Amino acid sequence: MDKGEQPKASAQRELLEETGYRAEIKHLLDIYPSPGYTDEIIHIFVAEGGEYVGEKLDEGEYLNCEFFTVDSVLKMIEDGEITDAKTVSAVYKYLFEKNK
């Protein structure tokens, strides 16, 4: 997040800059990766109803964006292909909210 920027505004800006999509952003959860030695907070959002308008990557930044079904992401988690805590937390929280 830029100094003084709110988490939702940062998520919308980063989504547009890095993927080229503008979408409705909804807060999903906040996680504290290592509260014992850092005060870092990761704010996780879900983007829905996206429209591609063109990315705005920083100079020297190259990204490949791909879309996956929820089932394929779950399989990648179960197969150990996706192991980072923020992604696993986000996927399971998303599924929990969707199935309430």
Q: pLDDT for 26-50, tens place per residue?
A: 999 999 989 888 999 999 999 999 9
Angle at which helices 70-78 and 85-98 pack, to 10 degrees?
130
For position 79, what pLDDT does the model report? 98
In the chain, the number of structural domains is 2
Is the same domain home to 4 and 32? yes
Q: Domain residues for 94?
A: 66-100
Indicate whether 98 and 73 sit together in one domain. Answer: yes
- Overall average pLDDT of the 66-89 stretch: 96
Phi, psi of 73 (to 5 degrees): -65, -45
Q: Which two tokens stand for residue 35?
A: 């509260």
Single out the catalytic residue among 14, 48, 55, 59: 59
Output the pTM of the full model: 0.86
CATH number at residue 52: 3.90.79.10
- 59 catalytic per annotation: yes
Residue 53 has pLDDT above 90, yes or no: yes
Mean model confidence pLDDT for the chain = 94
